[in-house]
Amino acid sequence: MAIEADQAPVGQSRAGLAVLATGVTRGFQPGRGVLCGLDLSIAPGEFVALLGRSGAGKSTLLRILGGLDPEYGGDVLVPERRAVVFQEPRLIPWLKVLPNVTLGLRRGPDGRPGLRQRSAGALSEVGLAGHARAWPVTLSGGEAQRVALARALVREPQLMLLDEPFGALDALTRTRMHTLLQALCARHRPAVLLVTHDVQEAVLLADRAVVLTGGKITLDVPVGLPRPRDPAQPAFQRLRTRLLAELGVNEHASVPAGSTAAD
């Protein structure tokens, strides 16, 4: 439980980066590293999608960046204000929605009313202004995840860490969440690391897609498509195919176009 985060600011934003990870290693069993000398940098305001097969170490990296895993090797620099959205909303069941959003926030100069107002603002940004006094159990999966997004947003993070946040949602809800996330990112401009195994999601949302294989980044490509993106575009399809190939999925000609999952 002893987490001694290195809180001393290390040099003002090296080369204007939001994340600078060099030679990161992490192993759970001796001799079998999950991350072996991983390098990754993310620019402020950049949206990076991290792809990889299950067990590739995507979540391990995200947990290190989020400060949830202190047992890593190598050097990692992250901004002070970070926020995580997990695959499950992880709302505290015995707190209503609004106190869940304000959880752990320190009162600013505007005091408690200001805190509540900012949190209510974040809730209305995710379209849940009317749910401030609801219990988490009464929310649907999509609503709960939107509260989790609001909880992350209200912290005005310089780095948002999203750990497969839409993985447990149905396809329709996921599409709406994609739209919402894009709008929120356009407005708040945090650096984002989105861990996902959904290649289509990565190409749709990210400025850059990186693939994690064997504990290292093996592919790092800018997406470079104009927004809003259309999965039917040939460029979209080409990038998708390339990422899938890197993940070890060969698309046969007989597989109908439009299947998205990489696993």
Partner 1 sequence: MADRVGVTAPGATALADGIRAPGPVLAPGAAPGGELTLIRPARARRRRRLTITRVPRLARRAIGPIAAIALWQLVCSRGLFTSFEVASPVAVFDAARELASQGVLQSNLLISLQRVAIGLLLGVGIGVFLAVLCGLFWVGEDLLDPVIQAFRAVPILGLVPLVIIWFGVGEVPKIFLIALGCLFPVYLNTYAAIRNVDNKLVEAGRTFGLSRLGLVFKVILPGALPGFLVGLRFALVASWVIDVVAEEINAQSGLGYLINQAQSTNRIDIMFCCLTIYAVLGLVADAIVRLLERRLLVWRAAFAGG
Binding site for partner 1 (CB under 8 A): 3, 66-68, 82-84, 86, 88, 90, 92-96, 103-106, 135-138, 151, 155
Q: Count CA atoms closer than 13 A to 135's CA, side-chain side.
A: 4
CB of 167 to partner 1, least distance (A): 15
CB of 163 to partner 1, least distance (A): 11
| Closer residue to partner 1 (CB): 8 or 137 | 137
| Closer residue to partner 1 (CB): 116 or 155 | 155
Burial group, residue 171, by CB count within 10 angstroms (0-12, 13-18, 19+)? exposed
Burial group, residue 109, by CB count within 10 angstroms (0-12, 13-18, 19+)? exposed
Distance CA 246, CA 237 (A): 14
Q: Which residues pair with 49 in a beta bridge?
A: 194, 209
First to last CA, the chain: 34
CB of 93 to partner 1, least distance (A): 5
| DSSP-assigned letters across all residues of 73-87 | EEEEE--S-EEEE-S
| Closer residue to partner 1 (CB): 83 or 244 | 83
| Closer residue to partner 1 (CB): 80 or 224 | 80
| Closer residue to partner 1 (CB): 166 or 243 | 166
| Closer residue to partner 1 (CB): 103 or 255 | 103
CB of 253 to partner 1, least distance (A): 22
CB of 61 to partner 1, least distance (A): 15
CB of 94 to partner 1, least distance (A): 4
* DSSP 8-state code for residue 261: B
Q: What are phi and psi of 10, to 5 degrees?
A: -100, 100
CB of 98 to partner 1, least distance (A): 14
Contact 209, 49 (CB under 8 A): yes
| Closer residue to partner 1 (CB): 19 or 202 | 19
Q: 198: which residues sit within 8 A by CB, 6+ positions away?
A: 166, 167, 260, 261, 262
Q: 209: which residues sit within 8 A by CB, 6+ positions away?
A: 48, 49, 51, 202, 203, 219, 220, 221, 223, 239, 243
